[in-house]
Amino acid sequence: MSSSGNVLRRSAANRQVAGVCGGLGEYFGIDPTAVRVGYVLLSIFSAGFPGIFVYVLLWILIPEREYY
């Protein structure tokens, strides 16, 4: 576990589908909308980047942030 408290988790509050891009944005301190746009553009314009497969894989591997 990171000592700074900044741990990669799927976002429970800032999500469109599963919270993957929202969680990445929160982790790196970037606007989650910019992460979403970049991810979609990378998926569309890169023949070697299987966007949907990678998104589902991240959905499975990254645990969801829990808010109490």
The amino acid at residue 46 is S
Whether the pLDDT of residue 4 is over 60: the answer is no
Phi-psi group of 27: left, alpha or beta (phi > 0 → left; psi -120 to 50 → alpha; rest → beta): alpha
Q: Running DSSP on this structure, what letter comes out for residue 2?
A: -
Average pLDDT over all residues of the chain: 84
Range of the domain at 32: 20-61
Give the pLDDT of residue 1. 44
**Confidence class of residue 35 from pLDDT cuts 50, 70 and 90?**
very high
Would you say residue 30 lies in a domain?
yes
Give the pLDDT of residue 7. 85
Would you say residue 1 lies in a domain?
no
**Count of the separate structural domains present in the chain:** 1
Structure tokens at 6: 């900044």
Let me know how many helices (H) and strands (E) the chain has, helices first: 3, 0
Give the pLDDT of residue 13. 80
Report, in angstroms and rounded to the nearest whole number, the Rg of the chain calculated over CA atoms: 12
Would you say residue 14 lies in a domain?
no
